[in-house]
């Protein structure tokens, strides 16, 4: 039986790739495409595929009520995603969320609603399998090389900084350091930043791991984790040169989310 999928943010760059991947998947059916742009355009044609008969529409609530999808994939913007998640969960639709920028409070609220209704979902800041492995390798290495900084580089139209991938990597590194009982070298006494933020984002959300954000045209999604040690440095880097790199992970999440009865964060839980 085909998995009925709705795509929220279907007219965006990631949304178009998701639409095309779903249309190419033999076990999936695109039943709704939601966006505030390109309204009434055929979603398949917009994605560079063949005409599919599913047109872009702006009203998520109406689309979900009419089409009854099994799964909703969300690649929208931080301002919209929180409300989208609540609408889907209220209508019994499972979630696959790639939109970043959700606050810990918003994630906790969505997780509570998911658990209350017994409806599974996954929020993943990065669906590239290589990026998931990069995060896992970094957490493992931080147990032995606890001095860590992260540089994340994305296209100039990315709205949030630091990226969700960088934040999750930093949190995984911080957790690994706590588990191993190791701490990074303290900065020199009296050290100051001549320009505030010069060492990037650093605080509770990053577990104290400095994160540096770069936004430039020509980039897609890239991240380096730098781990320093006495006389050495280990660099773990992942590059996505094409948005198609995220699609195997998205399709995996669509297939596996139906086995979940709660909301999870991170694609690594499905590997």
158 is catalytic: yes
Candidate list 154, 212, 222, 238, residue with the active-site label: 154
Q: Can you tell me the distance from the alpha carbon of 43 to that of 247, in angstroms, rounded to the nearest whole number? A: 17
86 is catalytic: no
Q: Can you tell me the distance from the alpha carbon of 7 to that of 27, in angstroms, rounded to the nearest whole number? A: 16
Angstrom distances, CA of residue 93 to CA of 44, 170, 250, 267: 22, 31, 16, 19
- Report residue 61 as tokens: 């609530």
Candidate list 86, 143, 155, 158, residue with the active-site label: 158
64 Cβ partners below 8 Å, 6+ apart? 6, 32, 72, 87, 88, 91, 93
Q: Which SS3 state, helix, strand or coil, does residue 34 take?
A: strand
Q: Can you tell me the distance from the alpha carbon of 12 to that of 15, in angstroms, rounded to the nearest whole number? A: 5
Q: Can you tell me the distance from the alpha carbon of 220 to that of 254, in angstroms, rounded to the nearest whole number? A: 23
- Closest of 97, 239, 213 to residue 158, by C-alpha: 213
Give the burial class of 87: count Cβ atoms within 10 A of its Cβ; 0-12 exposed, 13-18 middle, 19 or more buried: middle
Does 11 sit behind a cis peptide bond, omega within 30 degrees of 0 on the bond before it? no
Angstrom distances, CA of residue 268 to CA of 34, 40, 71, 80, 177: 28, 36, 19, 25, 19
- Which residues are marked as active site? 154, 158
């Amino acid at each position: 039986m085909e998995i009925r999928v709705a795509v929220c943010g279907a007219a965006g760059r990631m949304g178009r790739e998701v639409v095309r991947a779903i249309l190419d998947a033999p076990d999936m059916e695109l039943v709704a495409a939601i966006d505030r742009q390109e309204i009434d355009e055929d979603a398949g044609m917009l994605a560079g595929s063949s005409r599919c008969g599913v047109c872009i529409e702006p009203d998520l609530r109406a689309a979900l009520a009419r089409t009854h999808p099994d799964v909703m994939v969300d690649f929208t913007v931080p301002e919209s995603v929180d409300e989208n998640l609540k609408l889907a969960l209220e209508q019994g639709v499972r979630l696959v969320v790639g939109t970043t920028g959700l606050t810990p409070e918003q994630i906790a609220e969505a997780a509570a609603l998911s658990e209350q209704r017994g409806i599974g979902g996954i929020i993943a800041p990065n669906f590239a399998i290589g990026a998931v492995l990069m995060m896992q390798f970094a957490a493992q290495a931080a147990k032995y090389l606890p001095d860590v900084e992260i540089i994340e580089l994305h296209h100039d139209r990315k709205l949030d900084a630091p990226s969700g991938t960088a934040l999750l990597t930093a949190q995984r590194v911080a957790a690994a350091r706590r588990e191993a009982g190791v701490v990074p070298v303290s900065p020199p006494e009296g050290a100051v930043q001549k320009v505030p933020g010069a060492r990037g984002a650093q605080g509770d959300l990053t577990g104290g791991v400095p994160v540096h954000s770069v936004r430039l045209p020509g980039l897609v999604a890239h991240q380096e984790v730098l781990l320093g040690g006495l006389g050495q440095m280990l660099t773990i880097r992942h590059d996505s040169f094409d948005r198609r790199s995220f699609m195997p992970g998205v399709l995996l999440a669509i297939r596996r989310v139906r086995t979940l009865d709660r909301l999870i964060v991170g694609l690594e839980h499905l590997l």
